[in-house]
Amino acid sequence: MFRKFTTNELQCKIRSSSSSSNNVIVVVVVVVLVVVVVVVVVVVVVVVVVVVVKVVVASSGSTSSERSSNSTSSSKCSSSSRRCGGDSSIVVVVIVAVHSSNSTSSSSSTSSSSSSSSSSSSSSSSSSSSSSSRVVVVVVVVVVAIIVEVVVVVVVVVVTAAVIVAAVVVAIVVVVVEVVVVVGVVVVAVRVIEIIVVVVVVVVVVVVVVVVVVVVVVVVVVVAGVATETKNITKYKKNGGWGYIAS
């Protein structure tokens, strides 16, 4: 029923089966490494996109605060009837006020004070609404980033688990085929050692991927906390350039 193999035939079968199984193991390890590289690239792209969006939101917020501060300063200058920043309309108002009568000047000052108070209230309301909308946008971006990171972690865990199962199944199939073709304790021992090596390599790769993803999630959460704590960003002149104050 069973055919006896000569020593040369047995050695040839062991060599051929070992080379084929080694090729399968190399393919499995390469696939695992490719999956890891793709996942890391996706995580890096997500983090870069989140950072760019946060920078854009912060810059828009600073621009709006700068506009509101400029409008407030111009209203203060008009209420005190002084020239600030070379505004031609303010100069015209001052000339008219000087050459008018007392009653006209008093009425114009009353109207200018009421208009300045209304403009200051409108500028303060617009600045508060812009800051609140900016905070809402930052919170939404942070929540979306955290959800994306959680999805990436789940996908990484599922894919790596599937790759581990596939590697173990392939190794077991290779062992079974070799045991059926070549009955020998030495061949089984060699295949078991190869299975252990493959499993150890895959586990190490999975641990590295999980550590990288956890570090990325922690960094995103910390950046999100800093972004949500930032309420106002003020832009000011500094040594011929622009400076920013976050409070």
pLDDT tens figures, 36-93: 667 766 766 666 666 666 666 655 554 455 455 555 444 444 444 444 444 333 333 3
What is the tens place of the pLDDT at every residue in 217-228?
A: 666 666 655 555
Longest CA–CA separation in the chain, Å: 128
pTM: 0.35
The residues, ordered by sequence, that sit 6+ positions from 25 with a Cβ below 8 Å of its Cβ are 171, 194, 197, 198
Domain coordinates of the chain in residue numbers? 7-59+133-246
- Is residue 149 within 8 Å of 46, Cβ to Cβ? yes
> Which of 199, 222, 203 minimizes the C-alpha distance to 211?
203
What DSSP designation does 82 have?
-
User: Which is nearest to 44 in space by CA: 148, 157, 137?
Assistant: 148
Q: For the ranges 96-100, 205-209, 219-223, which has the lowest average pLDDT? A: 96-100
Tokens of 5: 């193999």
**CA 188 from centroid of its chain's CA atoms:** 48
